[in-house]
Amino acid sequence: MSQWITRAIDRSAEFNDRAAAALTNGFDWLFRHDKLVKSGQTPFELVFTSDLMTVRYYALGTEEDIQLNDGSLLPIQRPQHAVPLVLVPPLGVTTETFDLMPKRSLVRYMAARGFKTYLICWGTPQRRHAKLGMKDYADRMMGEALDAVRAHCQQQQVSLMGWCMGGLLALLHAGLQPPGRIRNIVTVASPIDMRGGGLVAGVAQIVNKPAKLIRKYTDLRLNMLKPEMFHTPGFVTTIAFKLTDPIASVTTYWDLITNLWDREFVESHTTTSDYLNNMLTYPAGVVADMLVKVVVDNSLAQGEFVLGRKVSRFARIKAPIFVFAGATDALISASTAEGILDLVGSTDKRFEVAPGGHMGVILGATAQNAVWRKSADWLVKRSMPEVKVRVRRTRV
């Protein structure tokens, strides 16, 4: 048999295999969608439950390693580091943010690196939660969550790692605390200076002048209106996020069609799409605080943020801090995120720009090496038990 006939037969067989796989995957995508979604599969223990918020603890089983997105195996480190790590997701997203897929799960990765890994789940806000503001999340709820973590792991110091508003909530909470309570802080694409670059900062500058005129010449104040009036369903958050990159929102479905034969690609695409299509509402109180204090007043860039009767001051933060920004982040530019380094009182601080957009920088395929690994390496060196030196008094 000639070589070209053999090659044609092989290509025909490959085409048939791909066509069969595409039909199977297409059927599952249309009629058995849930079978393709792989998020939230890492087992956890609930260590705190309230009306809205819960706290999860992730401890890996007896396996020796976990598989990463690039196909490599990561050995599970035992024993664990002394200082626990608390992951803080932003509002408006589901609890699967940091456990998106088994091979691309931040909670699994950090647990494998030897951290006692906790995750704050903000829950699904309803209309009755519309009054919740930044003071509720950054002060009361974060305080309850971290108290539960400290009680569970029997450690007083904790490290915080937050993405987007999650990083902002971590910073605001740390700005309320006395020295020593927060051991380390890692933020990823968290907004600080609303006069910097990026879409969020651009919108802030557009809104700023008319908002100040309204404030100057009228008695209209957002905090005077009933928050329940501004409660919006979660799909509004989804639409707003997709409008930041409408072309990608369409082309991603073309990618699905052209790779329909690849089961792993279809599972990854479906899981990510399910995540993006099921975003949550922001409590109206939070929206009002962000519009007035962040967008109009640019309070974060001034280093202070009023939370009810308390004031969070970034200069009070002495903990080591590692700040990441996304290289192609259209929402939060590098300059917008980097501003925190000039405001904190920390002497141990680092800034780095990582590949990816606003979501890709923390959840994308390159995040494991560009952000997760570097964060873990940095935290390991700063998560040792504190050595208490006993000072002896002597008489002269």
Determine the number of helices (DSSP H) and then strands (DSSP E) in the chain.
Answer: 15, 12
Residues 284, 130 contacting (CB under 8 angstroms) = yes
User: Residue 98's pLDDT is what?
Assistant: 93
- For 290-324, write each residue's pLDDT tens digit: 887 887 778 898 999 999 999 999 999 999 999 99
Question: What Å distances lie between residue 37 and 100, 106, 269, 351, 371, CA to CA?
Answer: 9, 17, 9, 34, 24
Would you call 104 exposed, middle or buried from its count of C-beta atoms within 10 A (0-12, 13-18, 19+)? buried
Under 8 Å between Cβ of 99 and 105: yes
How far is the C-alpha of 200 from the C-alpha of 193, rounded, in Å? 10
Among 307, 291, 314, 385, which residue's Cα sits nearest to residue 80? Answer: 385
More confident residue, 109 or 204: 109
CB atoms inside a 10 Å sphere around CB 164: 28
Average pLDDT, the chain: 82
Task: Give 260 or 223, the one with higher predicted confidence.
Answer: 260
Q: At residue 234, does pLDDT exceed 50?
A: yes
What would the mean pLDDT of 144-158 be, rounded to a whole number?
Answer: 96
Is residue 341 within 8 Å of 312, Cβ to Cβ?
A: no
Per-residue pLDDT, 390: 47
Q: What is the pLDDT of residues 202-229, one digit of tens each?
A: 544 544 444 444 444 444 444 555 555 5
CA dihedral in degrees (340, 345, 346, 349; nearest 10)?
A: 30
Query: What confidence tier does 276 reach under pLDDT thresholds 50, 70, 90?
Result: confident
pLDDT at 306: 93
Q: What is the tens place of the pLDDT at every residue in 110-146? A: 999 999 999 999 998 888 888 899 999 999 999 999 9
How large is the average pLDDT for residues 146-171? 96
In the chain, the domains with their CATH numbers are: 33-232+281-380 (3.40.50.1820)
Residue 50 pLDDT exceeds 70: yes
* Burial class of residue 230, CB neighbours in 10 A (0-12, 13-18, 19+): middle
Model confidence at 277, pLDDT cuts 50, 70, 90, reads confident
Token pair of 31 as six digits: 């009629």
Q: Identify the pLDDT of residue 126.
A: 87
Q: Contact, 189 vs 332, CB < 8 A?
A: yes
Question: For position 246, what pLDDT does the model report?
Answer: 47
The Cα 123–Cα 330 span in angstroms is: 27
pLDDT at 62: 85
| Pairwise CA distance, residues 263 & 311, whole Å | 51
Other Cβ atoms less than 10 A from the Cβ of 151: the count is 11
Query: pLDDT band for position 349 (50/70/90)?
Result: very high
Q: What percent of the chain has pLDDT over 70?
A: 78
Q: What is the pLDDT of residue 196?
A: 59
Q: What's this model's pTM, rounded to 2 decimal places?
A: 0.83
- Any idea which of 16-20, 27-31, 195-199, 385-389 has the lowest mean pLDDT? 195-199
Q: What does the pLDDT average to over 86-105?
A: 90
